[in-house]
Structure 1
Amino acid sequence: MTMVQTLARRWQVRLRTAWRPLRVDLQPVPVGGRGEPDGGQPSEVVAMPGQSAVAIEAALQGWAQWCAEHAGACVEVGLSAHWLLVTVGEEAPAVWQHYYGVSEDELHQHWVRRQVDMGAGQALHCAMPRALLDGVQAAARAHAIKLVWMGPWWIRQLAQHVRAQCDLGESLQPWSACEPGLTVRASLAWEEHAGQPVQVRQLWCEAEAA
């Protein structure tokens, strides 16, 4: 295939996926499947074992292969909770140091912090391994992949749940989402005088028993 043909093919893929981006879920545990998410959006799962530096390298190898096969595409990347540090509130570094032993120096050197909108005027404090983010972006650049969005795969489900609870008054239902080896949970609180009365009070992860 000539350079002109390669560029033309990538442009066709970009146009085809501009309004309906492909979805890739990067997970460090094998789930061994591909499928269509709710709403019929194109979806593919890249499953990788473990949570160590070796696992990050393996995940990036799978991601690079996927990028090569879908060069030029617009893509949303959903990240497994296994990769992430997450919390609500303003004391994220202190929370992560208390529960995970991650010092502020280590957080600065090896993690990338972001805030992800949860709706209801709240933001999720999130940190992902710098090596994972750098590798994802490098492979995307190499294959002209446009990263439309990158964040926790379950964040939109949580936001929808919070919005749905506004009609329930103080009879709020907790939220949870499962992925292989892990369950993400959130408790909600009713804040009578807040602009958005339903707020995420706590968010945490629970590992499945071996």
Structure 2
Amino acid sequence: MKEFLDILRNDHTDFDKGKLTDELKKIDPMLLFKKWYQEAFEKQCVSPNSMTVSTVGVDLMPSSRVVYLKDLLAEGLIFYTNYESEKGKQIGENPQVSALFFWDELSRQIRVQGKIEKAPEFISDEYFASRPRGSQLGAWASKQSEVISDRVSLEKELERVKKQFKNKEVPRPEFWGGYLIRPTYIEFWQGRPNRLHDRICFERNNVESEVWTVSRRNP
């Protein structure tokens, strides 16, 4: 255990891969988000579209998991899931969520906080139709977050679904679709030497407002 702690405590990785100038304060935060994501993709960051989404239900216990950003609109960020999953139930209880992107190769992260709602059905329909057939069938087979007795029971359900839709198009289940996160807070973080990181933050009072208040914060 001591050796493990020594490894953790002696990891003095420093950051020197960029800086955030005050010029960035003039850019629309969603356009800046798109620019950063494009750079993460071009630099071949590992899973650049993975984001940690945190929800809080009525029990006030935070719950986090990694999901994948699948669309970026002017209004916000879209990911897809089972509406009846744990995250779906918590979103139904409390539509306030946060999301975090971290790109180690660039020493960058983006924090997002805001309100979440179901994406328009036509967007969910279009995305579901573009998925591989195996993923479409898996969406039907999995009662996400529910307890199952063993792996075999899940595989049996998948076989049942395969037979149900044999030689047919697989429709989108009503319990599966997209969520749209409408940001009210977006923070761009750039690692800097000596832990004096750059943080530029955009805030607005509500999702309808087009006015963002911009500030630089201490690391």
Question: Do they fold alike, i.e. is TM over 0.5?
Answer: no
| Max Rg structure | 2
TM-score, structure 2 normalization = 0.28
Q: Answer 1 or 2: higher relative contact order, Cα 8 Å, separation at least 6.
A: 2
